[in-house]
Structure 1
């Protein structure tokens, strides 16, 4: 079956000039996919055919990679050809090529060292990532979890046990997570403060997902919404139907109130973004307002964003938005710190304050903050122009 599929792809790619078929076949040979034998020479020829025939940017990028590394000794390493093919790929809007050229120009690999050119290519890739982030659901796309380093997964730089007990075996870790989930599901079925805490932990875990290096619990918005709603309904009930009652409950039950604030903020996000619920801006606003009463920074920042956009029937009110962003930023919430920075970025006299907010958020690896810092150093907004600093931030 695999051999027949490869023959059909070859026929479509060469006899009928189908670029998608030839690209697929080249990748099969390059990576050895579908149990096919890896053949780098054939892959190179196919990428070259694609690049010559249609100027395919992805194929040009792969040719640049193979010339740069000399992978498999298919071709001799030739950095001049690598830069040439990679440049064509970058101007064909290939992101991997843009990042590669940013690195090559920064260090002068196969070309003259140029910080300006390095930043230009890094910025092209960063601009696309930033646009994609902003064009996502309200409050931005959910960023992927930070990757775990291989050394961390394997028990540290010198191996498990060299500096303490090391990482448990995958089977043991999987068993621990399974036991954790089963225990909390069992507790959550009861009626007690411990049950409420268990429901909160389960709801939060299902909403965020567990980015473990060996055992992963995928996001499940349906289950998250079920557990979080139980937590919210237990706190926001007939006895806490007014602002005064909610504030009193916050004073009397601070730990429960903190969980309820996080829960309300997450429910607001789910209604606004359509995560497990139909999109409902009015419901989102209701939950954000409840979370804000409990001083939750996620809810405060979301309310500020709603006033900026005029969402859920609210008037566009930048003053109110600023007040909510400031309250959330006072809690060191990075998204709010970015929003504060954007406010100050509009006034050249306040660029140094914007820089401080972006710096603070960038320390928490906030994507938008890092992007804005790169722009400020590149254009000299509030700081002297520093191309090398802009390049390091961008990459």
Structure 2
């Protein structure tokens, strides 16, 4: 029976030590799982672990002192008795002497163990083990409650983070919609500018076509004026030749009629003077008309060339300005789209990192909960086995 009690005591001490280690491991896990602001350190119950000092009778200490004195006296007596022959003993005799010295201490130890293995001491140790297990179960329940609260808080924080991520996603979607609308408006403006440029180019081309079409007419008009001037000159030359012929005829007649009358000669001379003045006046007038027509034609051609150059320069300037504006708008649109896409990518990467951290924290909490549940199951199984054994 003493052997069975010793085995049960050793099992109880081993289970108590295992429970103490599990409690400390649970406390460490709980301490690591909590935030820094909620960390607490619970000291174990001193009465749960001081098992050796519970239920020790008052006579054990004097008996222990007496046993020590007897052992010392026995050893001193044996050494004094063998003081003369101790140096001459061989190995076998020395071994037998040492075995004889150990007999009395071994007997005292056996008697002491038998005296300590009483039913009262076993009951006290069992009660201490039961109290330690109850304290450990309460501590495990507190740990499970703390872990449940921590998991609930993590679930609430996860919900808040999911709501924030959804809000951020909605904001990013709205920003993308705004950017898309702005890009569409700018594209419409660019299309309107392009249409205006096309209309201006079409109008300029029409004006240029009209001008080019008007140039042959102006050339024809100039040719007609030149022909008319030439015909006028020819007619004037013919009239001058006819006038010269008439003058010669009149001179001949004058010479023939010179003898007829001096008055007729004088009148003829005056008439000739008047005819010469008229010819000179007609020639000067013809030259003035010809110079004026030439000058008018030159001015018309110069104005036409200037108008064509100005139209061409205006069209080139408008084309360059429109191309520069379209390029600037395209660069601004590309830059805005690129910046928006990069910002959205960075935001999405940040959200994914936060989700990964939350998932890792939940996995750690789940692993801690599973270990605690396993420890609880092991402790309950040990308690049931102990109860069945009793």
Q: TM-score range by the shorter chain?
A: under 0.3
The one of the two structures with greater contact order (alpha-carbon pairs below 8 A, sep at least 6) is 2
TM-score (norm 2): 0.17
Structure having the larger proportion of residues in helix: 2
Bigger-Rg structure (1/2): 2
